[in-house]
Amino acid sequence: MRPAPIRQLTHREIERSTRRYPITLLCPDWRDPRNVGSVFRLADAAGLEKIVLAGSTPQPPHPKIARTARSTVRAVPYATVTDTLAYLRQERGAGRLILGLELTATSESLFTYRLPTDRDIILVAGTEVGGISEAVLAECDATVHLPMHGQNTSMNVATALSAAVYLLLMQLQ
């Protein structure tokens, strides 16, 4: 007997969860509004607490953000801040873990990093060109990275954040 054919579920058949994870994505000085839209999709899909758009990062309403985000701008809480360093210091004072997604001399692979589960997390992803600035890195409690196995040493920022978020969520189950 042959098993039933595999069938893609319709939008209405997919079970939805209202679970929220204690992760805030900080996007300082990003350039591409399409990456911002992608992060809204990510935050919605992963059930993240919120997004913080900092410095010169494009903000809604913006047609390229809207096109990529596909209505998740209305569903995901977000804030804007002008001073990234002041925001990070405030969040650290509130007890949050500041985690930078960056290859550094001391960063740990997300394959082996053990997330402290007793603190809310601010996950910082730097600009598309220069990564996380030295000043912002100095505010991080730790840095983590995705292992790079090819000739390139980086990924698109929204793609890297997506992989990082889901690796962290595995630990929060």
Q: What is the pLDDT of residue 173?
A: 86
Domain ranges of the chain: 25-172
Fold exhibited by the domain 25-172: Alpha/beta knot (3.40.1280)
For 83-121, write each residue's pLDDT tens digit: 999 999 999 999 999 999 999 999 999 999 999 989 999
For 41, half-sphere exposure in the C-beta direction (CA atoms, 13 angstrom radius) is 15
Whether the Cβ atoms of residue 124 and residue 101 lie closer than 8 Å to each other: yes
Q: What is the pLDDT of residue 1?
A: 83
Could you state, in chain order, the average pLDDT of each consecutive group of 10 residues for the chain (173 residues)? Answer: 92 92 98 98 98 98 98 97 98 98 97 94 96 98 97 94 98 92
Whether the Cβ atoms of residue 33 and residue 65 lie closer than 8 Å to each other: yes
Q: CA-CA distance, 162 to 14, in Å (whole number)?
A: 21
Q: What is the pLDDT of residue 7?
A: 94
- Flag whether the pTM goes above 0.85: yes
Q: What is the pLDDT of residue 131?
A: 96
Q: What is the pLDDT of residue 117?
A: 83
Residue 85 per-residue DSSP state:
H
CB atoms within 10 A of CB 56: 12
